Amino acid sequence: MNEPDFKSYTAAAEMLKALAHPVRLCIVRGLLQKKQCNVSYMQECLNLPQSTVSQHLQKLRSAGIVETERSGLEIKYTIADERVKQLIVLLLPKEDAIYE
């Protein structure tokens, strides 16, 4: 019997750990619906301090879940990993849009 290659399991576990917070799930769900968004807009929609939203975004970015695009002084966030899209659709299939 072959020994399992735990690299892929470790990567999946790290992604799940980064998503394992209600605010981060909400951010990712909102980004899926809106396609891209800046921190100020997320802060208003989530009714949380900008520093809190930024901390959650940094965790998501470190895990490779979101990526950034700079437009002048503004930084816009988008989903970086197709697997995350599939996972969120499975976990939260009928949730109403939050970024409207």
pLDDT at position 96: 52
Per residue in 52-88, pLDDT (tens digit) is 888 999 999 998 899 999 988 888 999 998 888 888 8
Model confidence at 100: pLDDT above 50: no
Per residue in 8-57, pLDDT (tens digit) is 888 888 889 898 898 888 888 888 888 888 888 787 778 888 888 889 99
On whether the CB atoms of residues 58 and 27 are closer than 8 A, the answer is no
Residue 96 maps to a domain: no
Domain limits for position 54: 13-91
Residue 39 maps to a domain: yes
* CATH number of the CATH domain containing 62: 1.10.10.10
Nearest to 79 by CA among 96, 92, 66, 89: 66
What's the rounded Cα separation, in Å, for the pair 22 and 29? 10
Residue 6 maps to a domain: no
Residue 4 maps to a domain: no
Number of compact structural domains in the chain: 1
Residue 21 maps to a domain: yes
Residue 33 maps to a domain: yes
pLDDT at position 99: 44
Query: Residues with Cβ < 8 Å from 81, sequence gap 6 or more?
Result: 15, 64, 65
pLDDT at position 58: 92
Residue 98 maps to a domain: no
pLDDT at position 92: 79
pLDDT at position 94: 66
Query: Residues with Cβ < 8 Å from 39, sequence gap 6 or more?
Result: 50, 53, 54, 57, 75, 77
What's the rounded Cα separation, in Å, for the pair 75 and 15? 22
Q: In what order do the strands lie in the sheet with 37-38?
A: 37-38, 74-79, 66-71
What's the rounded Cα separation, in Å, for the pair 20 and 46? 17
